[in-house]
Amino acid sequence: MASQRSLPALPVAHSQAPERADAARNREKILEAAQRLIDKHGIEKVSMDMLAQEAGVGKGTIFRRFGDRAGLARQMLHEHERAFQDGFIRGKPPLGPGAPPAERLRAFGHGMIDLLEEYGDIILAAESGAPCARFRAAPYLAHRAHVASLIRELDPRVDVDYHANSLLAVLAADQYRHLRREREMPVERVRAGWDSVVAAVESLASR
């Protein structure tokens, strides 16, 4: 099992320098306005102009604070992602330490599926920025480091980096949306599919 000393090396989602109180209030006002509009219209129909009007700020303020639509979506997911990371870093098994690595991999995937089921459209927006930006974002780096550490526990002889990235591709938001909405797969089938992928990696490691 990976030592507890290695856990702080995981990237933390959306780490930020402390912000001024007025900046924090402004950020929360924009995020609350964004959530209201998304609840009413869906994220794909919410423009920055609509958000600026709803929040009562200039559009330039939104771009300066969040960068782009993907940055805004990542901030909306901040607390959910932080709670998920806390669960797999120091939470209860099987998601957290104390369970065998294959069980933890299965639990990680089920946790991601829960997030995708609840916040899939926002996650998709967060992953839809500049080409390959998803792979440089703090959540992905944290997930990859965690999954890689579990694969390494299974068998350090396998290509850990390749398999970590391949496993995470199965949990990409566009993949999940395609399976659930276009292929109309029930969530139980998606969970079972993830378990079978983990079983294949476990089988590879046992050779």
- Rounded Cα distance between 111 and 182, Å, is 22
- Domains of the chain, earliest start first: 21-67 (1.10.10.60), 76-205 (1.10.357.10)
DSSP 3-state percent helix, strand, coil across the chain (nearest 5): 75, 0, 25
Q: What is the pLDDT of residue 1?
A: 38
What single-letter DSSP state applies at residue 12? Answer: P
Sign of CA dihedral 116, 120, 122, 125: positive
Long-range contacts formed by 187-196: CB under 8 A, 24+ apart: 187/113, 187/117, 190/113, 191/109, 191/110, 191/113, 194/106, 194/109, 194/110, 194/113, 194/170, 195/106, 195/109
Q: What is the pLDDT of residue 3?
A: 37
φ and ψ at residue 68, rounded to 5 degrees: -160, -175
Low-confidence ranges of the chain (pLDDT < 70): 1-19
| CA-based nearest residue to 177, from 43, 72, 68 | 43
Q: What is the pLDDT of residue 185?
A: 97
Contact 95, 108 (CB under 8 A): yes
- Rounded Cα distance between 90 and 166, Å, is 24
Q: pLDDT tens digit string along 28-62?
A: 889 999 989 998 988 888 888 999 999 999 888 89
CA distances in angstroms from 159 to 148, 151, 155, 165, listed in the order given: 10, 9, 9, 10
